[in-house]
Chains A and B, each alone.
Chain A
Amino acid sequence: MSAGLMIYNVLCLAVPFSVALLLAALGENFNQRAGVFNLGCDGIMCMGAFLGFMVPFSLKATPWAAYGNLLGIGAALAVGAAMGVVFALVTVTFRASQGIAGIGLQMLGWGLAGTLFRHFVGGVTGVEGMAALAIPGLSKIPFLGGVLFNHNALTYTALLLVPACWFLLYKTPWGLKVRAVGTHPRAADTMGIHVDRIRYQALMLGGAMAGLAGAYLSLCQAKMFSDDLVAGRGFIAVALVYFGRWSPLGILGGALLFSIAQSFQLSMQVWGIKFPYEFAVMLPYVLVIVVLALARKARQLGPTDLGKPYNREMRF
């Protein structure tokens, strides 16, 4: 196999791999920009993946079958937003420690999704899932066509969300408020911004995007559901936000880097390169740890009040 073809194969695989991470991390970025880090992202993804699978699975033999996937995605978005609201209730209204609450939400989502799956479905069953949608014309471009334009609709959506999230964050009143409440909530409060309300909204949006990321995994990537489908991707998404320095473009870069490492290690196994696969599997994770450890610590442009509950009547 030529080197060019190897790179092509790795990249073709990396783009779909990156989608779930990208969606979840772009959502998590809104949470963190508003000053709340949601470690429960992983649990939300589990529930999103479960509903994304469950809805089309149970509509299989009904007249609604044609809308199964869409309804599944809708359900995943809804459950994600709902879990975001639960998290906001605990961390914003009741000002619980975000780290502990996030771990709780992760276990809740993971456990609940698995339990419901065993109760309603039981064994391993596949769904038809979403088919690839080659973009006419563009998908015929040599090299780039295969890498970028021969995927399913959610992949394109995720890629388009990168500029959309950037616009939302930097060019709209809502984005301005999100950035302000995550950096200096008291200043925002003195300017008449409802800090708690903005944090609720950001957590809802972030949750919905994590739910969507989960649905992508079950509907597009695996076309099935199992307990360990999400496999800690929610935590990787949280790390990618730090890695991307709270910028949508940086997050895209991080998601692609991680996915390329992932698809590279898979390809290595396929090519039969003699290398203990246990180490190969570790590669992307090790990469993230190394990059996070070496990354510049300057937080000049990041949300400096990240992780701190805001209490107006707290004296300082």
Chain B
Amino acid sequence: MTPSLEPISELKLEGITKRFPGVLACDGISLQVRRGEVLALVGENGAGKTTLMNIIMGLYRPDSGSIHVNGEEVHFHSPGDAYARGIGMVHQHFMLVPNMTVAENLALGLKELHHFMNLDIKGAAKRIREVSERYELPVNPDAYIWQLSVGEQQRVELVKTLCLGARLLILDEPTSALTPQETDDLIVRLQRMASELAIIFISHKLNEVKALSDRVSILRHGAVVFNGQTANHEPSELAALMTGHDVVLPRNEGSGIQGEALLSVQNLCVRGDRGNLVLDGLSLELRAGEVLGMAGVSGNGQREFADALAGLRPVESGQILFGGKDLANRTPREIIHAGMGYVPEDRQTEGIVPSFSVKDNLILKDFAEPRFSKMAFLRKKEIDSNAEVLKERFDIRCPSTSTATGSLSGGNIQKVILAREISRGPKALVAVYPTRGIDMGAQEFIHEQLLARRREGIGILLISEELEEVMNLSDRIAVIYKGKILKVLPAVEATRERLGILMAGLADPDSPGDEQAEVPAGVVHE
């Protein structure tokens, strides 16, 4: 890609509109960003942020509207065109080829290194070293992408984008996969880089927006609803603008019910997909009527733990005692019958059958019960009325209960799963990342549901990487690190900083001498 002749000093969008079948993704959006400035673009999932950025990069064509660089109208047909004018993007899902090295990934985009029957890979490595020194973003050009951590891949993306000549950076939810420490580190680096670049920072984490950006634009349903200086507005104000109503995420107020032990996991060892021991002697106890939050950076064994609890992954050794029975290595059916509810991480493929209707997904676990089937035939009326009741009770927004579940939004799919799991009356519920990628309205509802079930005496294991969520909902918080529970602490004693340090695997700074301080369940919060 040829570097731009004149460095980009201003990008302006006017009246950008883009339709997808059945969706108006962008509705007459106008925006502006200049060099030396960080513009935060804020909005819920599906508000049109990513679509808008893909239009800027030339990946999508807008149906109408225009893009101007330094006052001159441009038409980008591919990302190459955007890079040629100095605009580069770091995508939320990294655009790195995992089985190639860092240098090869860069060389892909640098046409001047492509000679006949010869690829100048050394030239690419040299470029990377120059840029990584200049912007203090250490990366190793010879490492394979699949060997790098998510934080390192993030740096590679930044370096790659800069190497390609971008001086306006679009960062699409850059912190969504990072630990709190990596996030802070990234924000500091971006602040330093901001003086000579222009940055569009897409996020729905308002504290990051507050820390980094100069100006903020809020998108809702594909249209800009607010433009302003970040410094003049409080996060709560921005959240209300983002969702269209005041958002008050519910908190666990701690009724103080002292439950007995419900689920007791002892020395659990489980292997991961690559055959290595991912859970290495994990022990944990869940009591009735409590929310036990499990905090940790994803990839520390949460998925394998949830799989083992649901009977989807063989247990190497250890026990899962639930109501006096060992559920380790039992079939999912036995575990379901024992009274375990499960809200899986991957709601599209594990939580539902996407092509099935809402009403069919609602009876996936109970279709064989006498209530829904008689002599091997399904009882259609029962299934319909069950679906109608649950649709009402769980506020599932769908055209009808015969709609294919996969066509619903993430929040509504999650409500379908939650409705199925809760209406079965489980003794315990395992919820894995229950609000990941879900808009704040649905999030509020799901949180309320979880807390209501807790008051009814169900034990809830909440696995999440969102610290706010864990801290708001939990009675106790267990921090998982490298397949072990590093510490269990009462939610009242948890702070963002303390959890962040524990999640990074470091020693607990506030630990009062003895390691596993026993904490009574259902601690009363004030």
Query: Are B96 and A184 neighbours in the complex by a CB distance under 8 Å?
Result: yes
Q: How large is the interface on B (under 10, 10 to 19, 20 to 34, 35 or more residues)?
A: 35 or more
What are the residues of chain A within 8 A of B1 when measuring CB–CB? 192
Other A-B contacts than A176-B104, A184-B96, 14 sampled, CB-CB below 8 A, are A173-B115, A176-B107, A177-B108, A183-B100, A184-B98, A186-B95, A187-B95, A188-B108, A190-B91, A191-B79, A191-B80, A192-B1, A192-B79, A194-B78
Nearest residue, chain A, Cβ from B78: A192
Docked complex: A282-316 residues within 8 A CB-CB of B = 298, 300-302, 304, 312-313, 315-316
Given contacts A189-B59, A189-B79, A192-B83, contact A180 B117 (CB under 8 A): no
- Contacts between the two chains (Cβ within 8 Å), count: 82
Docked complex: B53-83 residues within 8 A CB-CB of A = 57, 59-60, 78-80, 83
- Please, how many angstroms separate the alpha-carbon atoms of A187 and B105 in the complex? 9
Contact of B99 among A172, A302, A312 (CB under 8 A): A302
Query: Are A183 and B114 neighbours in the complex by a CB distance under 8 Å?
Result: no
Docked complex: A242-272 residues within 8 A CB-CB of B = none
22 A-B contact pairs sorted by A residue (CB < 8 Å): A173-B114, A173-B115, A175-B119, A179-B100, A183-B100, A184-B97, A186-B95, A187-B94, A187-B95, A187-B97, A188-B97, A188-B108, A190-B57, A190-B59, A190-B91, A191-B95, A191-B105, A191-B164, A193-B108, A300-B99, A304-B99, A312-B59
- Please, how many angstroms separate the alpha-carbon atoms of A176 and B115 in the complex? 12
Question: Is B93's beta carbon under 8 Å from chain A?
Answer: yes
Nearest Cβ distance between residue A68 and chain B, in whole angstroms?
32
User: How many residues on the A side are at the interface (Cβ–Cβ under 8 A)?
Assistant: 28
Nearest 9 Cβ contacts at the A-B interface: A192-B80, A173-B114, A191-B109, A187-B95, A191-B108, A184-B97, A190-B95, A190-B79, A301-B99
Contact of B95 among A172, A184, A298, A302 (CB under 8 A): A184
Query: Are A176 and B146 neighbours in the complex by a CB distance under 8 Å?
Result: no
What are the residues of chain B within 8 A of A119 when measuring CB–CB? none
Question: Is B20's beta carbon under 8 Å from chain A?
Answer: yes
What are the residues of chain B within 8 A of A186 when measuring CB–CB? 95
What are the residues of chain A within 8 A of B20 when measuring CB–CB? 315
- Please, how many angstroms separate the alpha-carbon atoms of A237 and B164 in the complex? 39
Query: Are B96 and A179 neighbours in the complex by a CB distance under 8 Å?
Result: no
Question: Is A171's beta carbon under 8 Å from chain B?
Answer: yes
Give the dominant DSSP class at B's interface.
loop
- Please, how many angstroms separate the alpha-carbon atoms of A76 and B125 in the complex? 42
What are the residues of chain B within 8 A of A190 when measuring CB–CB? 57, 59, 79, 89, 91, 95
Given contacts A171-B118, A190-B57, A193-B108, contact A176 B93 (CB under 8 A): no
Q: Which of A173, A186, A191, A316 has the most CB of B within 10 A?
A: A191
Nearest Cβ distance between residue A88 and chain B, in whole angstroms?
20
- Please, how many angstroms separate the alpha-carbon atoms of A172 and B119 in the complex? 5
- Please, how many angstroms separate the alpha-carbon atoms of A177 and B110 in the complex? 12
What are the residues of chain A within 8 A of B59 when measuring CB–CB? 189-190, 312
Interface string of B112-127 (1 = CB under 8 A from A): 0111011100000000
Nearest Cβ distance between residue A285 and chain B, in whole angstroms?
30
Query: Are A176 and B108 neighbours in the complex by a CB distance under 8 Å?
Result: yes
What are the residues of chain A within 8 A of B96 when measuring CB–CB? 184, 187
What are the residues of chain A within 8 A of B93 when measuring CB–CB? 316
Nearest Cβ distance between residue B38 and chain A, in whole angstroms?
22
